[in-house]
Amino acid sequence: MALTRPTLTRRGVRALAAVTVALAALTGAIVWFAGSEDRALDGACDGVLPVGDVRSVLGEDAELDVTNRTEGAFGDKAAKSGGKRANSLSVRCRIAAEGTGHIAVTIAGSPRPRAEYGYGELYAAVPASHTLPVPLGNGWSGLFAAETARLDDAEDGTATTAVLLDCARRGDSLLITVETALRGATTLDDPAVRPDFVRTATATAEAANDHWGCGARLGTPVRTVGLPVNEDEYEPLLGAKGTCAAVPTASRSAVSTARETARDRAPRESCVLGTRDGSPLYRLEAYYGPYAEDARSQYTRDYDYENVTPAEKPAGRLGQSAYWAGATCPRGAESALYLIRAADADGETRRRPDLAYERAALAAFAAASAEHHGCAAPSLPKG
């Protein structure tokens, strides 16, 4: 029996055409939505985000939700618009992958307009509650902080990297801060994985340096980065070789141990002084560029009743047990700020302060840090 080829009626032809158009429209919608995600990611943070690194950290096939905001101006544009060198640039973007985590990026120009002082933090913060952030090294002026927290049956990990770009000729700077939060991130302890989080920040900094015409000196790729220093990682103060080097011991105050990091062009340095068993007594801090500017802004807001604060004088005493010192630095948007404060939990140091030792410790810490950063000799408190 001969086979006959089925024929389409006119109604069938119209129906097939409608289905074809619908499929094409659906396919186009899929392509358009996929393309819109790529376009949003390409344009995130004014287009300076390293898309490949972001996808590598959050997952190559992850569906990403992108939010983005850019305000203000920087450098020459800020000077032309405001008549002063006031960098109001504030760029924020957040890329989230459901079930995986997120990457949040902040880029801010320094110095900020004085009108913004007293209204919270001027710049994104780097966590430093229980651990000490470590410098990036490799020619970068930057910091790396990491912490983990158990939530339900999983462990969340958050890594924060900050990169400071000292722009050429202007005295301006750009501060890039990248927070990477991952669900089930037990990999933070893996030294082979940590540089992945840093690379997002350094690559963003490289692109931002070009995008805003900063002209800063850049570092080299970061192959290794240490973990922040924990509370139990103290050592004899006499053997300190990093941020606590040259700080004297004190028998009256029972200061004999130290927690420190390497001193490697970090825009913020910390040294914790403690008793023989590591219990903290004093905390020394050095702030440079936008970090110094931010600290002075917070004192303007929170300690105005003190009448004299680090925002008004280069050196002085704050409260019962706290001193500050200052130094002028080359090309810095803000003079360096050095602080010593009581850090013991029971408040004994605050009740019975050893003021002579506090001044001596601050003087040694500030002098060593200022010399490392190429700053002038610090102005020190008198008494």
- The residues facing 229 across adjacent strands are 132
Residue of 232, 235, 150 lying closest to 188 (CA atoms): 150
For CA atoms 284, 223, 167, 45, give the dihedral sign: negative
Q: Which two tokens stand for residue 34?
A: 């996929």
Q: Catalogue the E-assigned strands of 127-233.
A: 134-135, 141-151, 154-166, 173-182
Residue 94 confidence (pLDDT): 97
Residue 248 confidence (pLDDT): 96
Helix residue ranges per DSSP H, 303-377: 348-351, 355-372
Question: Among 25-29, 95-99, 115-119, which stretch is predicted with the lowest mean pLDDT?
Answer: 25-29
Beta-carbon contacts of 25 under 8 Å, excluding residues fewer than 6 positions away, are none
Residue of 157, 156, 155, 175 lying closest to 165 (CA atoms): 175
Is the model's pLDDT at 35 over the cut of 90?
no
Average pLDDT over residues 41-52: 93
Is the model's pLDDT at 276 over the cut of 50?
yes
Average pLDDT over residues 347-367: 86
Render pLDDT for 139-159 as a digit per residue (tens, 0 to 9). Answer: 999 999 987 654 444 567 889
Residue 278 burial by CB count (10 A; 0-12/13-18/19+): exposed, middle or buried? middle
b/e string for 254-275 if b means 16 or more Cβ within 10 A?
Answer: bbbbbbbbebbbbbbbbbbbbe
Residue 127 confidence (pLDDT): 83
Render pLDDT for 205-215 as a digit per residue (tens, 0 to 9). Answer: 999 999 999 99
Q: How far is it, in rounded angstroms, from Cα 279 to Cα 254? A: 10
Please give the span between the terminal C-alpha atoms of the chain, in angstroms, as a whole number.
Answer: 115
Q: SS3 breakdown of the chain: % helix, strand, coil, rounded to 5? A: 30, 25, 40
Q: How far is it, in rounded angstroms, from Cα 175 to Cα 139? A: 16
| DSSP-derived secondary structure letter, 154 | E
| DSSP-derived secondary structure letter, 251 | T
Beta-carbon contacts of 253 under 8 Å, excluding residues fewer than 6 positions away, are 281, 282, 349, 354, 357
Residue 213 confidence (pLDDT): 93
Q: How far is it, in rounded angstroms, from Cα 31 to Cα 229? A: 47
Residue 14 — pLDDT band, cuts 50, 70, 90? very low
Q: Are 87 and 75 in contact (CB under 8 A)?
A: yes
Residue 85 confidence (pLDDT): 62
Backbone angles phi, psi at 347, to 5 degrees: 80, 10
Average pLDDT over residues 327-350: 79
Beta-carbon contacts of 99 under 8 Å, excluding residues fewer than 6 positions away, are 183
Q: Which two tokens stand for residue 260?
A: 């420190």
Three-state DSSP class for residue 243: coil
Q: How far is it, in rounded angstroms, from Cα 159 to Cα 188? A: 8
What is the reported pTM?
A: 0.86
Residue 186 — pLDDT band, cuts 50, 70, 90? low
Neighbours of 285 (CB within 10 A): 21
**Which range among 119-133, 144-158, 189-203, 232-246 has the greatest average pLDDT?**
232-246
Q: How far is it, in rounded angstroms, from Cα 33 to Cα 163? A: 33
CA distances, 372 to each of 104, 112, 376 (Å): 31, 26, 10
Residue 192 confidence (pLDDT): 80
| Residue that wins the pLDDT comparison between 331 and 329 | 329
Question: Among 25-39, 164-178, 195-209, which stretch is predicted with the lowest mean pLDDT?
Answer: 25-39
Residue 204 — pLDDT band, cuts 50, 70, 90? very high
Radius of gyration of the chain (CA): 26
Q: Note the residue count of the chain.
A: 383
| Residue that wins the pLDDT comparison between 183 and 316 | 316
Residue type, 146: A
Average pLDDT over residues 108-126: 85
Q: How far is it, in rounded angstroms, from Cα 253 to Cα 344? A: 11
